[in-house]
Structure 1
Amino acid sequence: MWLALLTAAPAALAAKVAYYDATYRAAFKPGIPHAQVQLDLAGEKLPSKVVLRIDPKRYRNFRSSEPIEVTDDEVTWRPQGNRSSLSYEFVVNHQRSSGSYDSYITPNWALFRGDKLAPSTRVTAARNLRSRTTIEFDLPKGWSAVTPYASSGEERFRIDDPKRRFDEPEGWMLVGKIGVRSERIQHVNAVIAAPEGDSARRQDALAFINWNLPKLLEVFPDFPKRLLIVSAGDPMWRGGLSGPGSIFLHSDRPLISENRTSPLLHELVHVALGIRGDKESDWIVEGLAEFYSIQTLRRSGGIGQNRYEQAVENLKKWARRAPTLFGKSSTGATTARAVLVFQQVDAEIRSLTNNTASLDDVARKLAAKRGEISLTELQEVAQQVAGKPVQSLRREELTKPVVEREP
């Protein structure tokens, strides 16, 4: 017995987690179209190699006192000693094919995603070695910052993802002369921010979330503890985009559209689910987001039954324009068709379980799993909930013309 304990001790010690500090420092200056970013590592042990996957149009002028190798799409950095630093310039502006921007900087503010400020990173290190990561902002006088992370000091934020050994910044971020509104809604700290002078309706959006989020939390009780919603007007993209624990919504987008859907609720569902489709399953991701945006409005009383039924009729008309559900990205018509599919799935599960289960249980399981989703995985989760295969999710059913599938 003593021999077993002695031989087990070294293994236990070897498995003990060791930490090093990783600090991203991002400096912004008015009138300068890029941020100066520095990644500092400090600790008794550091990773032996750090590889950053880059777009040379957005990341440039890499420097370090340690060896680095720079190619068109990767930077390989080999930290040495107990302290090591790498610096580079991050070009903020990024234009979409439509001509609008999903990342933008002005003399008074900058709006971007944390996972763009910091290139995707692959770290080579001992398996028990983990980072304690923070992001700090060096800002002009009168500027402040909001991120999906809680503050841990002046313009300093702690990043903690238990699933990763090296924590990287993620989600939407806004720095500059900004206005902020916040409120705690059950376990969620909701923060809404926009540049000063922008037309964003921060207080309206906060009231809207206060009204609807509790109904969404009934389906997704593990919703992130912190939610950041950032808005800005033109030339930003005129829509909504979700990120981890955060959302961008153009200032001119309505809280509820004339067709009784909600761009804001749609993105909130994306945050709640945290899933992405495989090469043919974006309809699952977008369909669930639109299904629950409408359902949440109905359940909260935001729209009555008549307007809910009108919304469904509009979806049926739109869905006829979608020849298929399957594809790399879901268009508006495809998403409308997907909503009708999930209506059928919900009705079938309720029927099979004598109304003791529903699509809510499927969505909750998908949100707990997160990650990539496929039709096969959706079928398996639906079968777990229903107790038998769900016929409305059979590929043969999903490929029929939409007019034959309307309830």
Structure 2
Amino acid sequence: MKKTMLAVLLGCALNLAHAWDQQPNHYKVRIDADAQRAHVEADVWIEGKELAMFNAFAIPGLKDGQATFIDKLDARTMDGKPLPIKDKGEGEYELDGDRRVKLSYDVRLEHDKYDWPGGQEEVLYHTDEGVMAIGYYLFLVPGEKMLGQTRVEFDLPQGWVARTPWKQAGAPNVFTADTRRELVNNALFLGTAQQEQFTSGGMQISMVLGKRNWPQRAMMRELIERQLASYVKLFGRPPLADRYLIIANPGATGDGGAFAGSFSQFLKGDINAMTRPFWGRVMAHELLHFWNGHSLVPAQPSEEWFKEGVTDYLTVTTMARNGMFNQAHVTRFLENLGRGQSVARQGQGLTSTVQDAVKDKHNAWLLVYGGGSIAGLAMDVELRRATQNKVGLPDVMKALYAEFAQPGKTYTHADIVRVAKQVGGVDLGPMLQKIVATTEPFDLKPVMQEMGFEYEHFLFMLEHDITLRPDATAAQKQRFKDIFGFSYK
């Protein structure tokens, strides 16, 4: 009996010895004067035995991906005793955790010398005004879970300022992040680029622009404010986060990447009203992810078509309703849906379903984005047809958002079908099965006809054309107007 009690007491003592100390985590990031290296000092509670650079992945020539750039990694107990670290590859490390650990390491800021599947705007790049970096590639964090708030301090070259989506912690260049996701799943800009701050869509927006695009900030702000107002109306309320950082710099790709409370975008060419359907579409798409993607979250990667493709469809429809897409732009978008299918299937020879295309998203983007946009259009049209134009996809999005936009809650494919039936009284399951779960190109002709269009395509010439049918009914014409906000002429 005495031995049993002793064992219990020893067990309790051991558990108490490894209990979280209730203290915040700390990271100090020093950027060298030439901006080619970051030195990080940290003390962080490691729950379990895993330390990680999340979202590191191998590319040709870099078997450990972004973790290749970590140098001089050292871990110690809080009283200075060395802790052995086992490098498991691709940013995964093992050490004796369940304690607070002192970390020290360097990050070589060489990421923009390599091509990444998602683009440098989703990893790290330099400009003549500083460095854009995603938190994933600066912060080594506990792999199992991260307890408590995290305080981050930047020591920067003279004249530089840290632009982050985190809460300011009193002193300049000092911030707090509430969760691991908020810490690592965000874009940052460290440098001299200027920032404009304003309130829109229920959020505090910070817009950081390179000096080439700073003179066009009023045009960008107008687009942001108009689109955010449309998204609040579309989903019924603001997104879960209340701060959002936008970082935009010149870049040849014109692409962007969205994160938990931020997005990073390259701006291709001149920024003006004529090019707004291009740069503005990317910006508006990334903004919409703050609702569909980060507040409304799929349970499985197979629903990436809904996260990306339906987001793109709703981006186009809202931009059209806001006068930023004219009839020619909408026509091109509709024709490109079919053209994209043909290129993906016959040109690229892609054989996966739209759902499975997420496994090779960056090569199969015509299926993920294009196939998802086709699904969005087909859902919208069918709902409006079945309800005499009374219910459309926006009603489904609002209902999904009301049910699933909660921290930790996710939706499934079955939920999309269920909610659509509840809202519009129509079973979209069989139609979605044809679009996203088979490898056959979806026949767009009936969908186009329900908007009053004749749809012709010539496979070998990749010509896909829509023209207004002379016998288009008033209901079909109204359907198009309800979706895009103007009458087709």
- TM-score by length of structure 1 reads 0.79
Matched, 1:272 2:291: yes
- After TM superposition, list the pairs within 5 Å mapping 1:227-376 onto structure 2: 227-234=244-251, 238-252=254-268, 262-274=281-293, 275=297, 278=300, 280-304=302-326, 307-323=329-345, 325-326=354-355, 327-328=357-358, 329=361, 330-332=364-366, 335-352=369-386, 357-364=391-398, 365=400, 368=405, 375-376=413-414
Provide the rounded CA distance (Å) in 2 between the counterparts of 1:109 and 1:62. Answer: 25
- After TM superposition, list the pairs within 5 Å mapping 1:2-401 onto structure 2: 19-41=22-44, 47=47, 49-53=49-53, 55=64, 56-66=67-77, 67-73=83-89, 74-78=92-96, 84-94=101-111, 95-97=114-116, 101-102=120-121, 103-105=124-126, 108-119=129-140, 121-123=142-144, 130-153=147-170, 154-161=172-179, 168-196=183-211, 201-220=216-235, 221-223=237-239, 224-234=241-251, 238-252=254-268, 262-274=281-293, 275=297, 278=300, 280-304=302-326, 307-323=329-345, 325-326=354-355, 327-328=357-358, 329=361, 330-332=364-366, 335-352=369-386, 357-364=391-398, 365=400, 368=405, 375-391=413-429, 393-396=431-434, 398=436, 399=438, 400-401=440-441
Percent sequence identity is 20
> How has the CA–CA distance of structure 1 residues 21 and 282 changed in structure 2, closer, same or farther, with 3 Å as cutoff?
same
What letter is aligned with 2:285? H
> How has the CA–CA distance of structure 1 residues 374 and 99 changed in structure 2, closer, same or farther, with 3 Å as cutoff?
closer
Provide the rounded CA distance (Å) in 2 between the counterparts of 1:298 and 1:198. Answer: 24
Provide the rounded CA distance (Å) in 1 between the counterparts of 2:282 and 2:145. Answer: 40
- Note the alpha carbon deviations across 1:224-274, whole angstroms, 9 max, x for none: 31121102234x754111111211111326585557971111111222212
Provide the rounded CA distance (Å) in 2 between the counterparts of 1:155 and 1:71. Answer: 31
SS in structure 1 of the partner of residue 291 of structure 2: helix
1:402 corresponds in structure 2 to: 442
Provide the rounded CA distance (Å) in 1 between the counterparts of 2:316 and 2:444. Answer: 23
Provide the rounded CA distance (Å) in 2 between the counterparts of 1:246 and 1:204. Answer: 19
- Note the alpha carbon deviations across 1:117-161, whole angstroms, 9 max, x for none: 114532479xxxx31212221112200011122322211122124
Provide the rounded CA distance (Å) in 2 between the counterparts of 1:59 and 1:360. Answer: 45
Bigger mean CA deviation after superposition, 277-286 or 218-227: 277-286
Provide the rounded CA distance (Å) in 2 between the counterparts of 1:23 and 1:381. Answer: 43
- Note the alpha carbon deviations across 1:261-317, whole angstroms, 9 max, x for none: 711111112222124684544322221121111111122233355653453234344
Unaligned segments of structure 1, at least 5 residues: 1-13
TM superposition shift of 1:353? 5.2
8 Å CA contact 1:30, 1:106 repeated in 2: no
Bigger mean CA deviation after superposition, 360-369 or 243-252: 360-369
Provide the rounded CA distance (Å) in 1 between the counterparts of 2:253 and 2:318. Answer: 25
TM superposition shift of 1:350? 3.6
What letter is aligned with 1:402? F
Provide the rounded CA distance (Å) in 1 between the counterparts of 2:444 and 2:118. Answer: 39
What letter is aligned with 2:194? G
> How has the CA–CA distance of structure 1 residues 33 and 198 changed in structure 2, closer, same or farther, with 3 Å as cutoff?
farther
Provide the rounded CA distance (Å) in 2 between the counterparts of 1:157 and 1:335. Answer: 35
What letter is aligned with 1:245? G
TM superposition shift of 1:215? 0.6
TM superposition shift of 1:106? 5.4
Provide the rounded CA distance (Å) in 2 between the counterparts of 1:198 and 1:30. Answer: 25
1:10 corresponds in structure 2 to: none
Q: Which of the pair has more CA radius of gyration?
A: 2
SS in structure 2 of the partner of residue 262 of structure 1: helix
What letter is aligned with 2:38? A
SS in structure 2 of the partner of residue 65 of structure 1: strand
Provide the rounded CA distance (Å) in 2 between the counterparts of 1:136 and 1:167. Answer: 15
Higher-strand-fraction structure: 1
User: Over the residues paired in the alignment, what is the CA RMSD in angstroms?
Assistant: 3.6
1:3 corresponds in structure 2 to: none
SS in structure 2 of the partner of residue 135 of structure 1: strand
Bigger mean CA deviation after superposition, 209-218 or 363-372: 363-372
What letter is aligned with 1:300? N
Higher-helix-fraction structure: 2
2:456 corresponds in structure 1 to: none
TM superposition shift of 1:209? 0.8
- Note the alpha carbon deviations across 1:146-183, whole angstroms, 9 max, x for none: 1122322211122124xx7x864321100011111121
- Note the alpha carbon deviations across 1:8-58, whole angstroms, 9 max, x for none: xxxxxx9xx97321112111122142211122238xxx7464522464412
Provide the rounded CA distance (Å) in 2 between the counterparts of 1:183 and 1:358. Answer: 32
8 Å CA contact 1:47, 1:124 repeated in 2: yes
> How has the CA–CA distance of structure 1 residues 171 and 310 changed in structure 2, closer, same or farther, with 3 Å as cutoff?
same
SS in structure 1 of the partner of residue 27 of structure 2: strand
Provide the rounded CA distance (Å) in 2 between the counterparts of 1:200 and 1:240. Answer: 20
Aligned length: 381
8 Å CA contact 1:260, 1:307 repeated in 2: no
8 Å CA contact 1:349, 1:386 repeated in 2: yes
Provide the rounded CA distance (Å) in 1 between the counterparts of 2:131 and 2:108. Answer: 11
> How has the CA–CA distance of structure 1 residues 192 and 284 changed in structure 2, closer, same or farther, with 3 Å as cutoff?
same
Q: Which runs of 4+ in 1 moved over 6 A?
A: 370-373
8 Å CA contact 2:375, 2:432 repeated in 1: no
What letter is aligned with 1:52? A
- TM-score by length of structure 2 reads 0.67
Provide the rounded CA distance (Å) in 1 between the counterparts of 2:184 and 2:213. Answer: 26
8 Å CA contact 2:159, 2:191 repeated in 1: yes
